[in-house]
Chain A
Amino acid sequence: MTSPGSGRAPRRSVSRLPVAFYAGFLVVALLLAGVMSYAASGSPDGLDAVTQTGCELDEAGEPVGGRCIAQNAGEHATAGSPLADYAVGGSEGTTGIAGVIGVLATLVVAGGLFWVLRGRRSGTGLDPGDGRGLRDEPSSRVE
C-alpha cells in the first residue's frame, strides 16, 4: 500500500534519522568555515565593487573621495561586536574560529526554529487541507 512509501510517517522517520549523514554534513560545513575560509578572496564582492565604483578608497576600503553609491554608507551598528568582520576580537588570523562559531550559531538558531515549527504540526502528519501533500502528487503521477 501507499502509506509506507510516503516517507513522512512519523514512526518511520523517528526510527531512521540519518544521523551519520547529518554529522558528515556538519563536518563539511565546519571545515569550509574553519579552514577553507583562509583561502577566500580578499577582493570586494560584486555588490561592493559596484557601490564603490567612482570613489577613491582608503586602505580600509572606505570611500574618501569621488562620487559613488557607498559614499552614504554608515559605520555598521554592530561594528563593535566581538565577531565583527569575521575576526575574533579584531585579531588577525581568527577568521576560521569566527567561522566555526558562525556555523554552530546558525545551526542552533535555524535548527531550533525548524524543530519547534515541526513540533507544531498536527499529529496526523499530513494536513488534508493542504491540497499539496504527498498523498496527492504520487497518485497523479502514478497514472
Chain B
Amino acid sequence: MEPHTGLVAMHMSDGIVDAPTSVIFGFVAVLGLAVCVARARRDLDDRTAPMAGLVAAFVFAVQMLNFPILPGVSGHLLGGALCAILVGPYVGAICVSIVLLLQALLFADGGLSALGTNITNMALLGTFVGYGVAVAMRRIATRSRGGLVLTAFVAAWVNTVVASLGFVLEYAIGGEGLALGTVIGLMAGFHALIGIGEGIITALTVGAVASVRPDLVYLTRSAAPSLTIKGVSA
C-alpha cells in the first residue's frame, strides 16, 4: 500500500496496442498538436501565457490525486475540459500534452510509444469535445456563476467518457486480450464514475478562478467585453 503505487500509470503503457496503431496515433497527435500550436498564438498574451503555464502545472498536480470510484478501482483528473475552459482548447490541448510528455519522460507514467494514443485521447479528444460541450452551454455559462460551474461539470464529465472511448477505438484497431464488448462496458462504466470526480474538480477549479479573476476564464471572457461596452454606453 505504498502511496505511489496507485500513481504508476493513469495512462496507457507501451505494448497495450500494437506498433502500427501506436504509429498511426503518433501521427494523429503530431498533426493535432501542430494545429494547436499554430492556433494557440492568438490566445496567448502577456496575461494568459503565465496563466496557461500555471494551468498545466495545476493539471500535473491534480493528476497525481487518484480518488476511489469502486472497491479496488480509482480514477484521476484528465484535465482537458478544465484547461479548455480556462485557457482555450488549443492552448489547453498543449497544456495536457506537456503534462503527459513530462509524466512519460520523468515519471515513467504512460509509455513513450503510447504518447500518441495518450495525447490523442486525453489532450485532443477530451479537450476539444469537452470544449465543444462548454461552448454549446455558453449561454448558461455566461448567465451566472452557477451556470458556469454546471457547464464545467458537464463538459468535464463528457471529456472523461469520450477520452476513454478513444482508448476503446485504439484497442479495437490494435489491441488484444479481452472481448471488445467487455472493454467498452468496463471503460465506459468506470469512466462514467471517474467523470463525476473530474466534473467536481473542474467545477470547483473553474468556479474558484471565476470568483477571483473572471477575466482569466477563456470560455466566458469573449462575452465579457460586450458587457463592459453595454455598461459604459448605458
Residue pair B15, A73 in contact (C-beta under 8 Å): yes
Interface residues on A, range: 35 or more
CA distance A69 to B113 in the complex (A): 16
* Highest count of chain A CB atoms <10 Å: which of B5, B14, B111: B5
Which residues in B have their C-beta under 8 angstroms from that of A127? 42
Give B56-71 as 1s and 0s: 1 = Cβ < 8 Å from A's Cβ atoms. Answer: 1111111011111100
Residue pair A110, B66 in contact (C-beta under 8 Å): no
| With contact pairs A114-B44, A133-B42 given, residues A7 and B215 touching in the complex (Cβ less than 8 Å) | yes
CA distance A81 to B8 in the complex (A): 13
How many chain B residues touch the partner (CB < 8 A)?
A: 95
Residue pair B50, A111 in contact (C-beta under 8 Å): yes
Minimum distance in angstroms from A105 CB to a CB of chain B: 6
Which residues in B have their C-beta under 8 angstroms from that of A105? 102, 106
Which residues in A have their C-beta under 8 angstroms from that of B72? 43-44, 49
CA distance A114 to B91 in the complex (A): 8
Q: Is B147 an interface residue (CB 8 A)?
A: no
CA distance A141 to B226 in the complex (A): 6
Which residues in A have their C-beta under 8 angstroms from that of B67? 40-41
Residue pair B98, A81 in contact (C-beta under 8 Å): no
Residue pair B53, A114 in contact (C-beta under 8 Å): yes
Q: Is B200 an interface residue (CB 8 A)?
A: no
Tell me what chain B mostly uses at the interface: helix, strand, loop, or mixed: helix
Q: Which of A22, A93, A141 contacts B223 (CB 8 A)?
A: A141
Q: Is B187 an interface residue (CB 8 A)?
A: yes
CA distance A137 to B226 in the complex (A): 8
Q: Is B75 an interface residue (CB 8 A)?
A: yes
Residue pair A29, B54 in contact (C-beta under 8 Å): yes
Q: Is B136 an interface residue (CB 8 A)?
A: no
Closest residue of A by beta carbon distance from B2: A92
Residue pair B183, A120 in contact (C-beta under 8 Å): no
Q: Is B85 an interface residue (CB 8 A)?
A: no
Which residues A98-113 have CB closer than 8 A to chain B? 98-99, 101-113
Minimum distance in angstroms from B137 CB to a CB of chain A: 17
Minimum distance in angstroms from A20 CB to a CB of chain B: 9
Give A27-71 as 1s and 0s: 1 = Cβ < 8 Å from B's Cβ atoms. Answer: 011101100111111111111111101100000010000011111
Minimum distance in angstroms from B172 CB to a CB of chain A: 12
Interface CB pairs A-B, < 8 A, 21 = A16-B47, A25-B51, A25-B209, A29-B60, A38-B3, A41-B67, A43-B68, A45-B9, A45-B75, A47-B190, A51-B16, A69-B183, A72-B177, A74-B15, A77-B111, A78-B107, A83-B106, A83-B108, A110-B98, A137-B223, A138-B226
Given contacts A48-B8, A76-B108, 15 further A-B contacts (CB under 8 A): A5-B229, A17-B46, A17-B47, A25-B209, A29-B62, A39-B65, A69-B178, A81-B108, A92-B2, A95-B7, A109-B102, A110-B56, A111-B57, A118-B45, A138-B229
Ranked nearest first, the 6 interchain pairs of A and B with the lowest CB-CB distance are A111-B53, A46-B190, A110-B56, A33-B61, A42-B6, A41-B74
